[in-house]
Amino acid sequence: MLQTLRYAGIAAAVLAWIVIAVSISRNPWFDLFEHALSDLGGPQASSPWIYNLGLISVALVVLVYSMYLAYVSTNKMEVIGSAFLLIAAIFLALIGVFPAGTRPHTFVSTWFFIQMDLAIASWGIGLILRKDRSARHVGYIFTTLAIASPIIALAIDWPSVAIQEVFGIIVIDLWVALMYITIHR
């Protein structure tokens, strides 16, 4: 059973893209260059439940992944990174609970990305603390990614919130892929 949990991060990333793609297919009015992804779960969306329940489902997989990462952690910083990932999963679920158009939506969606960045930074520091040289190199990549990606996200004049969110998701997916390779070699 534990061996299958190692795929939870990849499963969450794939599921997230499936939820986004299906939601976009149900909403032909949606334009990636004009909207936010959360509009797919807002009041103007056709079948907003697909996006909102989809995010909650992704959050449950991320929650499982955070517990798996805590289990395979080798130091306290990695456990802290796993805790930040668990908190990010809660905020991701809250995006589905408080969709676009509700008062707490902006707060929970912003804090999802902040918590993910803290998870990436913490895991980066945790990997740097390992004795394994190749893990340390990946740790430096994660730490750089955690510092650079929010600066890039804030510095660029994005054409839409959705494009900025896609950038954040790609950063998360990159982290998930590198985590899989690093943790399971």
Residues 60, 97 contacting (CB under 8 angstroms): no
Confidence of residue 2 (pLDDT cuts 50, 70, 90): confident
Residue with tokens 């740097």: 128
Q: What pLDDT, on a 0 to 100 scale, did the predictor assign at position 115?
A: 98
Residues 95, 110 contacting (CB under 8 angstroms): no
| Residue 65 CA neighbour count, 13 Å, CB half | 29
Check whether 1 has a pLDDT greater than 80.
Answer: no
What are the pLDDT digits (tens) for 110-147? 999 999 999 999 999 999 999 999 999 999 999 999 99
For residue 29, the surrounding DSSP H or E stretch is: none
Mean pLDDT over each residue of the chain, to the nearest integer: 96
Q: In Å, what is the CA distance from 185 to each residue of 6, 67, 94, 180? A: 12, 19, 34, 8
Locate the domains of the chain by residue range. 2-183
Q: Cα(39)–Cα(21) distance, rounded to whole angstroms?
A: 13
Check whether 161 has a pLDDT greater than 80.
Answer: yes
Handedness of CA 28, 33, 39, 40 (dihedral sign): positive
Q: What pLDDT, on a 0 to 100 scale, did the predictor assign at position 184?
A: 79
Q: Cα(98)–Cα(93) distance, rounded to whole angstroms?
A: 9
What are the pLDDT digits (tens) for 8-53? 999 999 999 999 999 999 999 999 999 999 999 999 999 999 999 9
What are the pLDDT digits (tens) for 45-81? 999 999 999 999 999 999 999 999 999 999 999 999 9
Residues 8, 61 contacting (CB under 8 angstroms): yes
Q: Cα(95)–Cα(164) distance, rounded to whole angstroms?
A: 16
